Amino acid sequence: MKLAVKNLAILIGVSLPTVMFGQDPQLSQFYSNPIYTNPAFAGSATNARFVMSARSQYVGLNKNYRTGIASFDMNMAELNGGIGIIALTDIAGDGNLTSTVIGGVYSYHVALNRYVSLRAGIEANYHQRVYDFSKFKFGDQIDDRYGFVKPTNERVGQEQIGFMNFGTGLLVYSNQLYGGVAVHNLTEPNQSFYNPNASDEAFRLPRRYTFHAGGNIYLTRQRNESARSTLSPAILYMQQRNFNQLNLGLYFKKQALTTGMWFRQTTNNADAIIFLLGLKFPKFRVGYSFDATISDSRSATYGSHEVSLGFEISRKKTVRKTTRALNCPTF
């Protein structure tokens, strides 16, 4: 899913062959930047972690979608949960429609019993959106001999807007099973450059609902859990207004190596097969995934590349014992 502005659809449509309306950026490696997927993930790892994700979507387009997300989170015994910060930038189209987001996250941890934990998370962030009207081309600018040389009569809206946004999520997990739900854009803020005070649904950033779940199947039984070979089936479903997306697949982990493959189905068609290769070391990990487009748009879009990097910072042993760490894939 990609972030776009409803009332700029005509402008963007002039410069892009494919437009997707009113949607948030997505990651194929949805567990590589976990607090973006669900704020309840904040502080769910044993160590503090800093992660970065970079995505180039539809590389066949001249001005494709480019997304970067960075986050940091850690467990806080004093708060009986975890805290985190997240920053995002997303650029789309010839008009350089740029979205910048920075926010904070808190999750509260509850041990339901010896084996099962629950985390509830909230997030608050600030969105800024900017576009460059001068980059767009319109029909009334065309001169029969010289091309786009005439001034346009199209109205220029605000070229920069900002607003607050909020999200929440729940996460339940044991050593072998995990699942959660999240709701982003809770207040559905106005995202219009031309009608910033309008209450119409068309001008609002719609809520994004996410459901994700998975499990760990241990293929070997070494005492050290990190040395076990593990098969981890996973599912992620997202819905945002009229757009639906389902990812089904699995990870295979053996020591430092992780591989994975998913099938992605969108509202109207089978969209892509996703392939992953990742390496995880004690304090560092790197992952690469490629979305091979299988829909009718494959000849124009080619596919999408995504890279993730992660770093872990060890905490004191007394802190590690305060909550149960979540054992789920890291890519």
Looking up residue 74, the CATH number of its domain turns out to be 2.40.160.40
Six-digit token pair at 280? 């995880």
pLDDT band, very low/low/confident/very high, at 68 (cuts 50, 70, 90):
very high
| Token pair 């809206």 in the structure block, residue | 157
Residues 256, 30, 230, 224, CA torsion sign: positive
**Does residue 327 lie in a domain region?**
no
When mean pLDDT is compared over 5-9, 86-90, 110-114, 138-142, the highest value belongs to: 86-90
Question: Is 236 in contact with 316 (CB distance < 8 Å)?
Answer: no
Residues in the chain: 331
128-132, 225-229, 242-246: least confident range = 225-229
Specify whether the CB–CB gap between 242 and 8 falls below 8 A. no
Q: Quick one: which of 118, 35, 179, 169 has its CA closest to 324?
A: 118
The total of structural domains in the chain comes to 1
pLDDT > 70 in the chain, percent: 89
Please report, as a single letter, which amino acid is at residue 76.
M
pLDDT of 3 reads: 38
For the residues 217-244, what does the mean pLDDT come to?
86
Average pLDDT over residues 254-272: 91
pLDDT of residue 7 exceeding 80, the answer is no
pLDDT at 117 over 90: yes
Distance CA 84, CA 101 (A): 14
pLDDT at position 9 is 36
Asked if residue 76 lies in contact with residue 320, where contact means CB atoms within 8 angstroms, the answer is no
The answer to whether residue 239 sits within a structural domain is yes
Examine the pLDDT at 195 and tell me if it is beyond 60.
yes
**Mean pLDDT score across all residues of the chain:** 84
Q: Is residue 49 part of a domain?
A: yes
Quick check: is 172 in a domain?
A: yes
Range of lowest pLDDT (114-123, 194-203, 242-251)? 194-203
| Residue ranges with strand state E in 201-241 | 208-215, 217-218, 229-240
Question: Which of 127-141, 239-253, 309-323 has maximum average pLDDT?
Answer: 239-253
Residue 189's Cβ-side half-sphere holds a number of Cα atoms within 13 Å equal to: 17
Give the model's confidence band at 225: pLDDT under 50 very low, under 70 low, under 90 confident, else very high.
Answer: low
**pTM of the model as a whole:** 0.84
**Average of pLDDT values for 162-167?**
95
The model's confidence at residue 268, banded by pLDDT at 50, 70 and 90, is confident
Residue 244 lies inside a defined structural domain of this protein: yes
User: Is 325 domain-assigned?
Assistant: no
Residue type, position 319, single letter: V
Can you give the residue range of the structural domain that contains 20? Answer: 6-320
C-beta separation of 258 from 229 below 8 A: no
Asked whether 2 and 18 are in contact (CB, 8 A), the reply is no
Instruction: Pull the structure tokens for residue 50.
Output: 């800093």
Sort 181 into a burial class: Cβ within 10 Å, 0-12 / 13-18 / 19+.
middle
Is 153 or 80 the better-scoring residue by pLDDT? 80
DSSP state of 62: T
pLDDT of residue 11: 35
Is residue 81 within 8 A of residue 43, CB to CB? The reply is yes
Kindly state the DSSP code that residue 156 receives in the 8-state scheme: P
